[in-house]
């Protein structure tokens, strides 16, 4: 019997407690996290020691309820902290973002027994879970092609997934598939697939332009057996687990990640402009650069407020949250593109060298353009919701 029956709302930290936590994380990001960033960029890998340190600090369970061993943060509070983590190395942010999000998708549909097996160990950092939706020959939605056939108490899984973050080093893949012969949302299932299951080929595809060190995988399943007991929710709930349980709040989190990374780019650009002297004057005396930095600051704040608004509405259970999360994500991504481009331009040629911190920020920013869906996908979601709203009002 589960010791925790449901993710009931927990008491959020007081303003004073949250202020102390925020200050602690800001100091961590400015200090130890910068050293980790140097080590990751030099080696090209994220050492297990970083995962351990983040877990020991409690940073991998910040968003979980106190009953689960977390800090009981409200979702807007969590977004404020993800902004801070996003000013650090992208792989560090990715660890914190994913681990603080996957438990929520599982928990929403978990039985008491599944909560004990999957949710609580994930929050405690005893297991790693990789969100596994994207496929090479399909979009990330109702057209997924990975299929399962049920034989007694076992599903047999066949198909291919790719671009799966932490798909190499995880313990379970939180995977969406469909019943063989089905179509649309109603045929989908969500499964907790063990990393050690038979019939799986794991290809490490971690060599990326940015987000250095985060492992990614291409997964091929050939009648991989998965116990029916590892299904989350009912048959037909697969995309509800994946989209509502993970992607909607995760898109808000990615929007705030863009805000954090943009803030770091702005900080670097301002520092460089204050110190760089041309023709006897600092760059900050040049009106063209003043305007670029002013535009950046305005862009960042606008995206921050939209992301926080989406976070508040998601926590309140607003039916428009899917639309708001996509609006926040596409707005923040476009903002990040503009801000990092201007920040690099302010650095001039020196910003193009790997010895300059803005070079890594610029590379990492490009990944946000497709994390949790491209802007084209976000626009499609917004238009779909907009059209449904208009038709309902007729």
Instruction: For residue 372, indicate whether it is catalytic.
Output: yes
Query: How far apart are alpha carbons 124 and 4 in whole angstroms?
Result: 14
Cα-atom radius of gyration of the chain, to the nearest Å?
Answer: 21
Assess contact for 337 and 365: CB atoms under 8 A. Answer: yes
Report in angstroms the alpha-carbon separations of 265 from 162, 164, 202, 351. 30, 27, 35, 11
Of 337, 268, 331, the C-alpha closest to 305 is: 331
Assess contact for 368 and 258: CB atoms under 8 A. Answer: yes
Of 72, 55, 70, the C-alpha closest to 9 is: 72
Of 25, 8, 106, the C-alpha closest to 66 is: 8
Burial 29-57 (b: 16+ CB within 10 A, else e): beeebeebbebbeeeeebeeebbebbbee
Quote the tokens at residue 86.
């996003």
Which residue of the set 372, 376, 385, 391 is catalytic?
372
Residues belonging to the active site: 372
């Amino acid at each position: 019997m589960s010791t925790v029956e449901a993710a009931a709302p927990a008491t959020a930290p007081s303003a004073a407690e949250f202020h102390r936590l925020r200050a602690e994380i800001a100091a961590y990001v400015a200090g130890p996290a910068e050293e980790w960033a140097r080590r990751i960029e030099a080696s090209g890998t994220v050492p297990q020691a970083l995962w351990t340190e983040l877990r020991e600090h409690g940073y991998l369970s910040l968003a979980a309820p106190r009953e689960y061993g977390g800090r009981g943060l409200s979702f807007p509070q969590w977004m404020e902290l993800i902004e801070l983590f996003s000013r650090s190395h992208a792989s560090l942010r990715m660890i914190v973002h994913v681990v603080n999000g996957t438990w929520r998708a599982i928990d929403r549909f978990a039985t008491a027994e599944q909560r004990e097996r999957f949710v609580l160990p994930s929050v405690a950092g005893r297991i790693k879970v990789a969100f596994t939706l994207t496929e090479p020959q399909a979009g990330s939605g109702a057209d997924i092609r990975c299929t399962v056939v049920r034989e007694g108490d076992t599903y047999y899984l066949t198909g291919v997934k790719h671009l799966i973050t932490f798909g190499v080093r995880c313990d379970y893949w939180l995977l969406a598939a469909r019943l063989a012969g089905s179509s649309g949302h109603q045929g989908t299932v969500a499964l907790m697939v063990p990393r050690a299951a038979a019939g799986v080929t794991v290809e490490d595809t971690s060599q990326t332009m940015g987000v250095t060190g985060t492992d990614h995988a291409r997964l091929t399943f050939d009648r991989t057996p998965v116990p029916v007991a590892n299904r989350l929710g009912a048959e037909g709930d697969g995309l509800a687990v994946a989209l509502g349980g993970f992607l909607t709040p995760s898109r808000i989190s990615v929007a705030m990640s863009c805000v954090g990374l943009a803030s770091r780019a702005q900080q670097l650009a301002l520092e460089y402009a204050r110190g760089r002297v041309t023709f006897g004057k600092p760059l900050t005396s040049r009106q063209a650069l003043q305007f670029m930095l002013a535009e950046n600051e305005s862009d960042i704040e606008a995206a921050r407020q939209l992301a926080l608004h989406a976070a508040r509405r998601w926590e309140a259970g607003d039916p428009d949250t899917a639309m708001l999360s996509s609006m926040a994500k596409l707005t923040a991504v476009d903002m990040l593109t503009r801000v990092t481009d201007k920040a690099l331009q302010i650095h001039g040629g020196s910003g193009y060298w790997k010895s300059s911190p803005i070079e890594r920020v610029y590379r990492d920013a490009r990944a946000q353009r497709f994390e949790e869906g491209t802007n084209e996908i976000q626009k499609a979601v917004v238009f779909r919701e907009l059209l449904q709203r208009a038709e309902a009002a007729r």
